[in-house]
Amino acid sequence: MASTVQRHPLAAQAAEVLLSRIKDGEWPLGHKLPGETTLAVQLGVGRSTVREAIRELAGKGVLDPRQGAGVFVTAVDVVEDWESKLRRASIVSVIEARVAIEAEAAALAAQRRTAADVRALRRALAQRVVAGQTPEEHIDADMVLHRAVVAAARNDVLLELFDGFVPRVRTAMIDMLKLKPIAAPEADHAAHAALVQAIADRQPREAAETSRTHLSALKAALA
Amino acid sequence: MASTVQRHPLAAQAAEVLLSRIKDGEWPLGHKLPGETTLAVQLGVGRSTVREAIRELAGKGVLDPRQGAGVFVTAVDVVEDWESKLRRASIVSVIEARVAIEAEAAALAAQRRTAADVRALRRALAQRVVAGQTPEEHIDADMVLHRAVVAAARNDVLLELFDGFVPRVRTAMIDMLKLKPIAAPEADHAAHAALVQAIADRQPREAAETSRTHLSALKAALA
DNA sequence: GAACCGTACTCCTCAGACAAGTAGAGGTGT
DNA sequence: ACACCTCTACTTGTCTGAGGAGTACGGTTC
pLDDT digits (tens, 9 = 90+) for B169-216: 998 888 887 777 766 778 889 999 999 999 999 999 999 999 999 999
The answer to whether the CB of B14 falls within 8 A of the CB of B57 is no
CB pairs under 8 A between A and B: 106
3-state secondary structure of A180: coil
Q: Among residues 50-109 of chain B, which lie with CB inside 8 Å of chain A?
A: 51-53, 55-61, 65, 67, 79, 81-83, 85-86, 89-90, 93-94, 96-97, 99-101, 103-105, 108
A151: number of CA atoms within 13 Å, CB side? Answer: 15
Angstrom CA distances, B94 to A65, A106, B88, B216, stand at 34, 16, 10, 12
Q: What is the mean pLDDT of residues A26-31?
A: 93
Query: Is A76:A29 a contact under the CB 8 Å cutoff?
Result: yes
Res. B3 pLDDT band, cuts 50 70 90: very low
% of residues, chain B, pLDDT over 90:
71
Percent of residues, chain A, with pLDDT higher than 90 = 72
Give the integer Cα–Cα distance in Å for B180 and B178.
Answer: 6
pLDDT at B136 over 60: yes
Strand partners, B170: none
Q: How confident is the model at residue A2 (pLDDT cuts 50, 70, 90)?
A: very low
Task: Report the pLDDT value the prediction gives residue B222, as an integer from 0 to 100.
Answer: 80
User: In this complex, which of B51, B85, B157 lies closest to A97 when CB atoms are compared?
Assistant: B157
Max CA separation in chain A (angstroms) = 71
Instruction: Dump pLDDT digits (tens) for A3-26.
Output: 344 468 899 999 999 999 999 999
Q: Which pLDDT band holds residue A183 (cuts at 50, 70, 90)?
A: low
The span from the CA of B206 to the CA of B198, in Å, is: 6
* CA pair distance B15, B49, nearest whole angstrom: 9
Please state whether strand D lies within 7 Å of residue B17 at its CB atom. Answer: no
Model confidence over A91-117: pLDDT tens digits?
Answer: 999 999 999 999 999 999 999 999 999
* pLDDT tens digits for range A57-76: 999 999 999 999 999 999 98
Residue-wise pLDDT tens digits, B29-82: 999 999 999 999 999 999 999 999 999 999 999 999 999 999 999 988 887 778
The pLDDT of residue A81 is 78
User: Which residues, other chains included, contact A105 with Cβ-Cβ below 8 Å and sequence gap of 6+?
Assistant: A149, A150, A152, A153, A155, A158, A162, A211, B100
CA distance B79 to A202: 35
pLDDT at B6 over 70: no
B56·A51 Cβ contact <8 A: no
Q: Which nucleotide is nearest to B8 (CA to C1')?
A: D13
Q: Give yes or no for B167 touching A (CB within 8 A).
A: no
Q: How far is the CA of B67 from the C1' of C12 (A)?
A: 7
Residues of B in contact with A51 (CB under 8 A): 48, 52
**Considering Cα of A175, then A181, then A184, then A189, what sign does the dihedral take?**
positive
Q: Distance (Å) from the C-alpha of residue B96 to the closest C-alpha of chain A?
A: 8
Q: How far apart are CA B34 and CA A60, in angstroms?
A: 24
pLDDT digits (tens, 9 = 90+) for A133-159: 777 888 899 999 999 999 999 999 999
**Which residues in B lie closer than 8 A to residue A90 (C-beta atoms)?**
156
Nucleic strand C contacts from chain B, 49-108, CB < 7 Å: 51, 54, 65-71
Q: Which of residues 160-199 of B touch strand D (CB under 7 A)?
A: none
- Nucleotide D24 C1' to residue B67 CA (A): 12
CB pair distance less than 8 Å for A52 and B51 = yes
Question: Is the separation of the CB atoms in A73 and A33 below 8 Å?
Answer: yes
Contacts of A64 (CB under 8 A, 6+ apart): A58, A71, A72, A73, A74
- Residue B46 CB in 7 A reach of strand D: yes
- A221 pLDDT above the threshold of 90: no
Closest nucleotide to A32: CA versus each C1': D11
Q: Is the pLDDT of residue B2 over 50?
A: no
